[in-house]
Structures are given as structure tokens and as C-alpha cells.
């Protein structure tokens, strides 16, 4: 009887795992805290050899303070991901007026027709220290799109009045106030449904059906699967750090 109960219990656990759609219960670390193994820099030829993305004090660090002579430069994962739950910590600095973000389901295009001669196509969860309300919203960097998709706006411009209520409740912690202060971000992608949280605050719940799987994204191979990446915006003076980067994939 005990064995029978054991097998019934084990069967129920397996069934629940299947229904939840998780490959397993283990989080996979995307950053070993020592080097950029598993990551690669994507940029135009003119920026190759410039070191903006590095590992310092156990964190992925980007520092372009005092140097605006660069195009867009991304640090991206070598692996691609489709449906997943990503969580990480990031640190922002008041001295940094630059923009960054976490791209996902993205793909780099270095063809002659690519924007600036090299472009990472795909959606991006914005990180913007000067305007916390933008952090956690979704801007789409895909060629032919390049606009806010949550909230839905025609281009890159956005005001607090245009942001969803959850975004206005976002609070960021800054290094200058507390060197030990870190911000948390979570990105959850399941099919065309996207969710983001910043410091536990729900910012985005977005159905990308008809957008992330439209012709523009299909042409670039983005929107439904691709790499995860961090962005250094063109000509920006940015200082930002990332650590504790973990991902859990969902079975498709």
C-alpha cells in the first residue's frame, strides 16, 4: 500500500510539472560572476576593440562616462531562449544620464541593410535611471517597428501621463544613496504574453499577439525566440551594473 501511494504521489508531481510547463525546477545562472563566458559583444566594426562591457567586483559592468564616441553596443547571450522567467539585479547611478535595457527574443543583424550597419532586433525592457517610470516598460528595437509597444505609442517619445499606472509606482534605488542598494527585475515570457516586475512592482502585462509575431519580426527572426542582451545606447554616457542573473525555461 505504501508503494502504491508513493507511485500515485510521484505521478501527481509529474503531472503538475507538465501542466505548469516547466522543464525543471532549477534556475540556470547566466553569469558566473568572474568573466563573460556565455556572452558576446555585438557592435559595428568601428567599435570593435573598445571595452565598455566588462566584469568588475563580481558584476557585469558598463561604464561609458566621459566617452560618447560610440554607436550602439550590446552584450548578448550566446544561447537563445523562447519561453522563460528571467530574474536579475541591476544598479543605477545618479551620475549616469544614459539609457539601457534588457533585450530578449532578439537577433543581431550585421548585413549591409541593417540599421547603422549592425542592429539587435527585438523587444527591450527599458532601464532608465533619470526617469524611473520608464523602467519595466517595453520598447521594440525591431527594424520596421522601433517604438513603445507597452504602452502602445508611435515612436520613442513617452511622458509619465502616457505610462500605465503600475509604471508610475516604480521606485529605483541608487548607488549614491546606498552602495549596497540593488534593484530587481523579472521578465516572464510565455507565448505572446509578457510580464515585467521592477522591485516586485508589476509594471507590464502585455499580449504581443499580432505584434511580436507580425511580418516585421518574422523578417528579423525576433519576437518569439532569440538572445538576451544588455544595451549601451549610442552616444550615451552610461554607468550600470548587473548581477544574480538567472533564467528558468518553460517547455514549449
Cα distance between residue 8 and residue 166, in whole Å: 43
Cα distance between residue 109 and residue 222, in whole Å: 11
144-165: buried (b, 16+ CB within 10 Å) or exposed (e) per residue? ebeebbbeebeeeebeeeebbe
Cα distance between residue 121 and residue 220, in whole Å: 7
Q: Output the CATH code of domain 24-249.
A: 2.60.120.560
Write a three-state SS string for 21-90: CECCCCCEECCCCCCCCCEEEECCHHHCCCCCEEEECCEEEEECCCCCCCCCEEEEECCCECCEEEEEEE
The answer, yes or no, to whether the previous bond of 151 is cis (omega within 30 of 0) is yes
pLDDT score for 113: 84
Coil, strand or helix at 110 = coil
pLDDT score for 252: 75
pTM: 0.89
Cα distance between residue 49 and residue 43, in whole Å: 10
- Domain spans, the chain: 24-249
pLDDT digit string (tens) for the chain, length 252 residues: 434 443 333 443 344 344 445 555 699 999 999 999 999 999 999 999 999 999 999 999 999 999 999 999 999 999 999 999 999 999 999 999 999 999 999 999 999 889 888 999 999 999 999 999 999 999 999 999 999 999 999 999 999 999 999 999 999 999 999 999 999 999 999 999 999 999 999 999 999 999 999 999 999 999 999 999 999 999 999 999 999 999 999 997
Element (H, E) at 167: helix 165-168
Cell numbers 544620464 label which residue?
Answer: 97
pLDDT score for 25: 66
Cell numbers 517610470 label which residue?
Answer: 133
pLDDT score for 14: 42
59-63 and 239-249 beta bridge pairing: antiparallel
pLDDT score for 5: 40
Cβ atoms of residues 174 and 94 within 8 Å: yes
Cβ atoms of residues 123 and 104 within 8 Å: yes
pLDDT score for 12: 36
Amino acid at each position: 500500500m505504501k508503494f502504491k501511494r508513493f507511485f500515485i504521489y510521484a505521478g501527481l508531481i509529474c503531472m503538475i510539472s507538465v501542466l505548469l510547463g516547466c522543464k525543471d525546477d532549477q534556475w540556470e545562472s547566466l553569469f558566473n560572476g568572474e568573466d563573460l563566458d556565455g556572452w558576446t559583444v555585438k557592435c559595428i566594426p568601428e567599435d570593435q576593440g573598445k571595452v565598455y562591457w566588462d566584469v568588475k567586483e563580481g558584476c557585469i559592468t558598463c561604464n561609458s562616462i566621459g566617452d560618447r564616441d560610440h554607436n550602439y553596443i550590446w552584450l548578448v547571450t550566446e544561447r537563445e531562449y523562447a519561453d522563460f522567467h528571467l530574474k536579475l539585479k541591476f544598479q543605477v547611478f545618479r551620475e549616469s544620464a544614459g539609457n539601457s535595457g534588457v533585450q530578449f527574443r532578439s537577433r543581431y543583424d550585421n548585413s549591409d541593410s541593417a540599421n547603422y550597419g549592425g542592429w539587435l532586433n527585438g523587444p527591450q525592457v527599458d532601464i532608465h535611471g533619470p526617469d524611473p517610470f520608464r523602467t519595466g516598460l517595453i520598447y521594440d528595437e525591431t527594424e520596421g517597428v522601433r517604438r513603445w509597444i507597452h504602452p502602445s505609442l508611435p515612436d520613442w517619445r513617452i511622458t509619465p501621463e502616457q505610462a500605465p499606472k503600475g509604471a508610475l509606482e516604480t521606485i529605483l534605488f541608487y548607488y549614491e544613496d546606498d552602495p549596497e542598494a540593488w534593484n530587481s527585475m523579472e521578465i516572464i515570457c510565455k507565448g505572446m504574453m509578457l510580464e515585467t516586475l521592477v522591485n516586485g512592482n508589476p509594471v507590464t502585462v502585455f499580449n504581443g499577439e499580432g505584434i511580436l509575431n507580425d511580418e516585421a519580426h518574422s523578417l528579423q527572426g525576433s519576437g518569439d525566440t532569440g538572445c538576451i542582451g544588455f544595451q549601451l545606447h549610442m552616444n550615451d554616457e552610461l554607468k550600470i551594473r548587473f548581477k544574480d542573473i538567472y533564467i528558468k525555461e518553460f517547455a514549449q
